[in-house]
Amino acid sequence: MFHKLAAFAFALTLALPGLSFAATPVNINKADAVTIAGSLDGIGQSKAEAIVAWRDAHGPFKSADGLAQVKGIGPATLERNRAAILLTDTTANA
C-alpha cells in the first residue's frame, strides 16, 4: 500500500511541477502580516501576526535566527525559509 501511495505522490509531482511550495523573499522588518503569511512557507496568518507583534514589541529583527523568538516558529520552519527572509530592502542596497 505504501509503495502505491509513494508512486502516486511521485507521479503527482511530475504532473504538477508548480505544486512545490517555495518561499518568496520578504522583508520581515517592514512587511505586514498578510504579506509575511503569503510569502513564507509554513507561516500562516496567525504566526505572521505573531511575527509582527514581536517586532512591534522588541524592534526589528537583527537576523533570521531572531524569528525563533516568536512562539510557534522552530528550526525547521526557519531553515525552510532562510533564503527568503530579508532584513532590509534589497533595492535600497543596490
Residues 15-54: tens digit of each pLDDT: 444 444 578 999 999 999 999 999 999 999 999 999 999 9
Which comes out higher in pLDDT, residue 56 or 7?
56
Query: For the chain, what is the radius of gyration of the CA atoms?
Result: 16
Phi, psi of 78 (to 5 degrees): -60, -50
pLDDT interval class at 91 (50, 70, 90) = low
Compute the average pLDDT of residues 56-75: 97
Flag whether pLDDT at 78 surpasses 50.
yes
What pLDDT, on the 0 to 100 scale, is given for residue 23? Answer: 87
- Helix H or strand E encompassing 85: strand 85-86
Global pTM reads 0.73
CA distance 31 to 51: 10
Q: What is the pLDDT of residue 51?
A: 98
Which residues 6+ apart lie within 8 Å of 68 measured at CB? 74, 75, 78
